[in-house]
Amino acid sequence: MKKYTHAWIAFKAIKRLQNAQLTDDNRKFADYLIEWFHSHKDGVIRGAWYPDEIIKDNGSSHIMKYAPAPVGSPSPKFRTLPSKSLLYQNGKDSPLHNQPYTIDAKHNLPERCEALSHAVIDNLRIIEREEKGSPLAPTANHAALVLFMLSHYIADAHMPMHCDDRPGELGTWDMHAAVEDIWEYEVVGYYEVDRVHQRFLYSPSGYPRLRDVLPASINTPYAGSILKAVDDELSAREFQITYGQGNDNVREYMQAVSQYSYLLSYSFLPAGYDPALVDRVTPQVPGGLPNRDMSIISLADAVDAVARVWLRDLRRYMKWEKEIVEG
């Protein structure tokens, strides 16, 4: 995913928590996170792009690439995802579901997400414990940066071609990049972006503001966009805090996401598809899942995943904080 798409997902995750039906206990944690996020939101675009611009571990930690293995080969079973997940609903019907697969050993996206998840909590704990002005204490801005970086890797797990060992390049044309270009084109086309200061312009509610007048390059009104369809999908479905049955931590959850992103890629680009038949405008191939449907699945589930991990991380930190105060 590209720069402004990553930031858009982060904002949508916070708005998702604001609108979600939560228990009183979880609402307390969500409201704290929402307020904290809005105090640091001008750093989202830069922070969520740090992994690509500064860290540059794209060849290992942004991907978890799978390939079908011969029948009978040993491989781990497929994990589960939250029942409302579109990735999960799509993947359960895939002919590759619960079939053997291989993984490139150098790819470690789930482990990277787990590490950053712990880093968020650790930084908040150190801030709480150290005296103000201590040279050991990170700042709240640093903790926000780690949180935004975490959202980048979580979102990348939802990009199907980040989890598909087949090459995205078809000759001189890169289908992977073409898909991400459409998402980025919509974000910067429909929303007001201050590129100089690398921030969105905000509506009175504090979220990225839709343009009153669309640029000439945008031919479809917002009502017909992929982004509006993602909004509609999220509004229509229950927000689930669970990582899915059997997933006890962020690493296991991201392993499950990566597995089902691999299946989504094969739904979008069926096994043995003919590169010569790829529609390079849409882009998609005959017999494959339409690009629009694939995009809604990827983006909607990415928003929920970021919201879910952020909320659960803050919940773990705040429960620790309460134990310290009461202990």
**What confidence score (pLDDT) does residue 238 get?**
96
Q: Is the pLDDT of residue 136 over 70?
A: yes
**Residue 150: what residue type?**
L
Contact 215, 191 (CB under 8 A): no
Q: DSSP letter string over 36-50?
A: HHHTTGGGHHHHHHH
Half-sphere exposure of 3 (CA within 13 A, CB side): 13
Q: For residues 76-96, give the mean pLDDT.
A: 96
Q: For residues 133-143, give the mean pLDDT.
A: 90
Q: 79: closest CA among 115, 58, 110, 119?
A: 110
Q: Is the pLDDT of residue 165 over 90?
A: yes
Q: What domains can be seen in the chain, in order of their start residue? A: 3-326 (1.10.575.10)
User: Pairing state of beta strands 101-103 and 169-170?
Assistant: unpaired
pLDDT tens readout for residues 23-79: 999 999 999 999 999 999 999 999 999 999 999 999 999 999 999 999 889 888 899
CA distances from 260 to 116, 122, 201 (A): 22, 30, 34
Express as a percent the part of the chain with pLDDT over 90.
Answer: 86
**What confidence score (pLDDT) does residue 319 get?**
79
Q: Is the pLDDT of residue 127 over 70?
A: yes
How many whole angstroms separate alpha carbon 261 and alpha carbon 256? 9
**What confidence score (pLDDT) does residue 326 get?**
59
pTM of the model: 0.96
Q: Is the pLDDT of residue 120 over 60?
A: yes
CA distances from 201 to 2, 8, 15, 141, 207 (A): 19, 12, 16, 20, 8
**Residue 81: what residue type?**
L
Task: Indicate the pLDDT class of residue 129, thresholds 50, 70 and 90.
Answer: confident
**Residue 291: what residue type?**
N
When computed from its CA atoms, the radius of gyration of the chain, rounded to whole angstroms, is 20
